[in-house]
Structure formats: C-alpha cells, structure tokens
Chains A and B, each alone.
Chain A
Amino acid sequence: MTIKTIPLPMRSTKETREYAQAVEKGLDSYFVVQNGKGWYVRKASLRSGNGTLFPNKEAAVDQAKKLSSKRNSEYLIFDNTGTLISRKTNTA
C-alpha cells in the first residue's frame, strides 16, 4: 500500500524540542540484550540484528561499560523477555 502524507507547517515548541533532545540523548546509549545465542551488545541507534555477540552476560556488560564510557552515555540491560533489568550511567 502506498501512502501519501501531507507535511504540517513546522511549529517548534518546548515540548517538540525536548522530545527530540530525549532521542538525541539516547542515541549513544547501548543495549545489552539476552537471546537464545547469548548476550548481544548494540548501540541503541543501530537496527536490531546489528551488534556483537558475547558468550556470557559479564563479557557483554564489560563491553557495554567500555563503549558507553567513551561516549559519556549509559547502558541498559534487558533479559530474554525484553524486560529492563538495569540501567547504568557511564560507570567505567
């Protein structure tokens, strides 16, 4: 199905800017995700499927810590049901 969209005139408000700022802030964070094969680490801004696989949680968290530290961001750890188990800010 081809959809047609009509652009609305750009109207900048405190809310529209803050929303985009929240996205910008989170683009540099890292997700540590458990799945059937092991633990993945991927940057939040990357598409799912892109990431590095680690054999265990500790190795994945170490990597996420290093990467988030370089970017002054945070990492979020999800279990295999998609539940957020913890989030840490740049603790390396």
Chain B
Amino acid sequence: MAFIISADDIKKNLPGYDPKHSDVLHRESARLADKEFEKALKSRQEIKVILMSGGTASGKTEYISAYLKNRNVIIFDGTLPSFEGAKIKCAKVAKSGKSIEVHAVMPISLQKAFIAFLNRDRKFPPEHFFRTHSACRKTLLEIAREMPAVTVRVFFSESIISKDQIDTKFTELSIPNRGVLIEYLEQNQYTENELKQMQGLL
C-alpha cells in the first residue's frame, strides 16, 4: 500500500474544518503535510517517492486511487505550485537516498475540470482553480528544464459521461525524450487570466 500524504486529507482532521470553506485551513494543512513528508522520508521503508503535480480538480486523487494506491511508494498529493518548493522536496528526497518521480495530471478538458471543481464537496473560491492550474504548469516546465535527473510523467484525465458509464479514464503522454516533454509543456502554459478567458469568465 502506498503511503499517501495529502494536505486535503490532513485538513479534514483539523478543528474547525468545513468542506464548504476548504480554503480556510489550506495554509496550515499544507505546512503539516510538508512536516509529515519530511518525517516519512526519514522513517518509511519505501524506496520511491512520487510527487504529484496538477491543478485543483485535475484528477490527481482519482489517478492515485486507480493506479498508485497499491504500490509500495510514498506519494505527496499536492499541486506542486512553486519551483522553489519542488526543489526543496527533491533535495530532501535525494538526501534520504530514495528515488523520485513527478506524476502530473492534466485534464483533457479544463472546462469539465472547472465544472468538477465547482460541484465537488470540497469548496474553494474559483481563483484557487485558476491559480493552481497556472502555477503547476509553470513549475512542471521548470522541473523539466532544470532538473533532468527527475523523471516526469504526464497523465491526462477525462470524465466519461454516458448512459452506461459515469467514470474517469486516464491516458499517459508518450515522452520519447526530454525535448518532447519540454516542448509539450511550453505549449501548454496558461496565465490565470487566460484560464479565466477559456472559461468565458473574462
């Protein structure tokens, strides 16, 4: 079983947690998740660490539940919003002697991801959606460019809604070399305002 560290899960156990105002305890739960991550690197036996990347409601938790939950790895389930934060985490993993991979989850349809974001139990203001989807892509591109030793895998989530099936499926970006990854990520960078425009909000 994977050892999963998630700020969203930690938050659920904090006093005063209200899923309708999930943003309120986010800073505190992120701090506690970082602390737990450090502890896990020192105490856990797993030899591989997976850092998740992806905007809120991109399908990260769903991807973990389907493909990683039963693997013998440590997973940090966050959005990976800053390159500085990612560098610190990677350095700590390297120091622990464990190997590291970044798994990024991107929605095929940002429109549907925004709809999922607005309609799930955990509620954040919409700005959180635009901020995290913009920031995680920037971080991922910087990792791809600046940290060649870190394996980056990109997965796409897609919700299937039909008469017979309501579910989420995943595909993986074929990355024959780092150049292809960097080119793909360069072409898929968005500012927060561009994301708002894509949703027809600006």
Contact = CB atoms under 8 A, between A and B. Distances in A.
- Asked if A pairs with B, the answer is yes
Interface of A: 1, 3-8, 10-27, 29, 31, 33, 35, 40, 42, 44-45, 47-49, 51, 76, 78, 80-84, 87
Given A8-B67, A23-B161, A48 B197 contact: yes
B171 A5 contact: yes
Given A10-B169, A42-B200, A20 B156 contact: no
Given A78-B126, A78-B201, A83-B125, 15 more contacts: A3-B184, A5-B173, A6-B171, A13-B62, A17-B166, A18-B120, A19-B59, A19-B168, A20-B161, A23-B159, A29-B115, A48-B201, A80-B202, A82-B199, A84-B125
B99 interface: no
Contacts of A7: 169-171
Given A6-B172, A17-B167, A26 B119 contact: yes
B116 A8 contact: no
Decide if the interface of chain A is mainly helix, strand, loop or mixed: mixed
Interface of B: 57, 59, 61-62, 64-67, 111-112, 115-116, 118-120, 125-127, 130, 155-157, 159-161, 166-174, 183-184, 187, 196-202
Nearest to B115: A26
Nearest to B199: A48
16 contacts: A7-B171, A8-B172, A10-B169, A11-B67, A15-B61, A16-B65, A19-B59, A20-B166, A26-B118, A33-B200, A48-B198, A49-B200, A78-B126, A82-B130, A82-B202, A83-B125
